[in-house]
Structures are given as C-alpha cells and as structure tokens.
Amino acid sequence: MSLVYTSEVILISTSEIKEKAGIPGTKLVERAREIESWVEDRFLDPQGIVYTYLDAKTGRLVTDKTFAPGQTPIHLPGTEAHTPAEWHNYENCGMTTAAYMQGLLFRYAVEKDPAALARAWRCFEALKYVYEMGKQLEEGFFPKIYGNRFSEQTSTDQVLYVMLALDHLYQYAGETEKPLIDRMIVNLIRFWMKRQYRYKYFWHQDMLWPLGRFTSLLLMAYRHGGGEEFKTEYDRLLAMGVNDGPLEARLAPKLRGEREPLPYEIKHNAWLIGELQGAVSMEVMELDYMLRNDPSNGRSAQWKKSMRQIWDEGTLALAPDGTMYVHVLVDMKSGKPRRPDPERFRESNGPDDWIGFQYVTGGRGGDSPFVGRSAVQADVHLHDPEIRNVARLIIASLDKEMLKTYHDPDRYLPELRHRTELYSGDGVANWLWAYWQGRVQGIFAASE
C-alpha cells in the first residue's frame, strides 16, 4: 500500500483514495460540459489557440493589469522582447491546445458529436498556424509564440504534445489532410534529429535535451512515412538504454548518489523534489506511445517498469483534495515524504535568478490533472486498481475553481501571490482529456 505524508502525519492512503474517488455532487459529465464551454468562451485566442493561463480575478486573458504593483512575475532570459502578460498567455500554448484537442477527440469517440470533431479540427488549424510561423526559422521548428508573435524559444514537451495529438487526429483525416499531417509529424522531429537533439532553452545555449524524449517521436515519424532513417535512429537510441529507466525521475538520481545534496536538503535531512506532475505526465505519454505501437519490442517489459517507477515517484505529492503539492521533502532515512514549510532553499544563482526559483512554499497546485490523465494512460499497461482510483480522485475532486495553477497564497511571498490567481490552461485541458479518455476505457461511467 502506497502512502503520502505531510510532516510526520499520513495524509492519504490508497484505501482513502478509493473512498474519496466516489461520485461528486455534480455529475462528471455535466462538469465536463461546463469546463469545455468555459474553454470555448474564455480560453481561446482568435486563432483558436488555448491560452496557458487565465486571470482568475477577471476570468479573462492575462494583461499587464494582472500583475499589481509590487508583484514580480516570471520573466526569463530569451524572452526580453515580450511582456510578462504575453509570456503567460502563450508559454505552453502548444501543450494546452494539443491536450484540449485530445479531450475533444476522445469525447467524439464517446458521443459521436460532430461539434467535438469540428472543434478538434479547429485545434489542428491553430497548431498548423504555429507550425507555419515556425518556418521563419525552419520548417519543423515549433515556436513559443509569446504575444502571438514568432520567438526562437521552444521545448520538447510542446513538440511531444503536438505530435501525439496529430497522430490521434490522423484516423479522422481525409486524403487531403493526411499528407499534411504526415509532413508535420516528420518535420517536427527532423528539426531535432538534424541538430543531434541540441537547441537553446532560455538561459541555456546549445542544450542537449534528454534523449529519451525523442524515441517515441522517431517511431511516430517512421510510422508516418518518414523513412528508414527514423527507425534506425529509434533503434540506436533504444540500444543506448535511454528509456530503460525513468527519464524524468526527480528522486531516483538523488537516491543513487548522482546529485550532491543542497545545503537546504542537508539542513532538513530530506531530499527536495518538485513539479512532479510534469515529470510523470511526459514519461507516461512517451512510454504509452511506444507500448501501444511497438509492443513486441524486447525492451517493452522494461518500459512498463519505468512507467511504474515514475508513477510511484510522481504520486508522492498527491494531496487529499486531488491537488498536488508543488514540492515535497523525502526523508533521507525513512523515505517518507512530507510537506515543507515556506522557506528560501537557495540563493540567486546566475541567469535563473527569478525570486520564484529561490523559494519552496509547500503550497498546492491545480495542475494535478496531468497526473489524472497519466493515470488513465498508465491503466492500459499496468492494470492497477490503485492507479484508476487516483484518476477518479483527481477528476472527481477538481472543479473550475480548483483548476488554478497554484493555491495557498499565504504560503507565497507577497510579490509572488499573483501566481495563485491564475487559472491553468494545462490543468483545464488535461482534465478534459483524462475524463473523456477515461470514459472510453470505462474508468468513468456515463451515469456519474
């Protein structure tokens, strides 16, 4: 039985998760319709791109007025030409738009509602719009379009979400659309393959991105007509063992002694790990694709072990109300996780010196639908009732108001409390994706 702790007190056990994962007061299908209507009304820009954040005070897109005097919003190197509002609106727009598209496609699979499929195709047009903008650098570059303008910033998580959504849409494409989707998928990964998986990222120049991020995408490109070079490269990376252990693990490298403890960790005799929802969600997505599309591979059993390991680590921060703690401390002796108190854990250090990177809060976050969706995907391969119960806990517990990126403003420095007044496009889109894929798989019933 897996347990999650805060301080020295057990927060939630698997039996309690099952109890809390019951039917909510509002039927889930009604909540899903409410959330989708909310996206359609408030989260879409003129091209149909799903905003990354929404100002919770106004219920509309983020503007300069979102950040009151005295607030210190994130502003990273490489984004100097864009305002904080432009950054917040579009930082993860590839992910949010692609995740929303996935939810719509699964809704169509359940309900056969033409409106859902039409909205999914509109998401495709939005992603194609960004893809076309990326040609200002090179075809296949998928930019972060802060302020709805080209930038040279990107990330592999944007590409992962977009390619998986395109692959899912392919089954509904006609003879006109299929060659375009094939071309997009192949070029999106070719961009990285040509550069030997190196590209800048904010303050990092010529950064080597984690190689395990690319195997699923290489396989996808091969399946979409990219040629033997993609299969050869897929096999080469697999032979290097890039997916034989959890790529996104936060805790495991520390337990293996691969990372020196921070002074903060020594002080508390505990390992600090955070943002686990992103780690588990990307790893599960990557492995899910390979397990579904290369199930007879000799490494597939190891992929399942990796999925299990990242799942166990990723759920360490699950809170009783279905949110996730942004950070947890894992005791170096007992291995028990606990919720940290607000505290500065490191000093300013070079270009990544934004004050928000220097503090641990112990606050909760409403991006837990990343983990809810990961649970739905992992269920296909791991067949664990506890994983299903986590999906049910998260989706049943979170309503619109709970889908703020961060909660608990009293745990934040005064200049960072704007972070608790932002609705999360990632949380919203992944909630819909988790719910409707869960309906396809029977995790949620139509009567709930």
CA–CA distances in Å: residue 192 to residues 205, 209, 343, 414: 15, 9, 38, 40
pLDDT at 345: 86
Instruction: Report the predicted TM-score, pTM, of the whole model to 2 decimal places.
Output: 0.94
Inside any domain, residue 224: yes
pLDDT by residue (tens digit) across 111-161?
999 999 999 999 999 999 999 999 999 999 999 999 999 999 999 999 999
Inside any domain, residue 178: yes
Distance CA 308, CA 297 (A): 18
Inside any domain, residue 148: yes
Mean pLDDT confidence for 206-223: 97
pLDDT by residue (tens digit) across 349-362?
666 678 888 899 99
| Cβ neighbours of residue 111 closer than 8 Å, sequence gap 6 or more | none
pLDDT at 175: 96
Inside any domain, residue 58: no
Distance CA 392, CA 100 (A): 19
Inside any domain, residue 174: yes
Inside any domain, residue 131: yes
- For the chain, the domain total comes to 1
| Cβ neighbours of residue 97 closer than 8 Å, sequence gap 6 or more | 48, 49, 50, 123, 126, 127, 162, 429
Inside any domain, residue 135: yes
- Phi and psi, residue 171, nearest 5°: -65, -20
pLDDT above 90 (res 326): yes
Inside any domain, residue 378: no
Q: Which domain holds residue 161?
A: 91-242
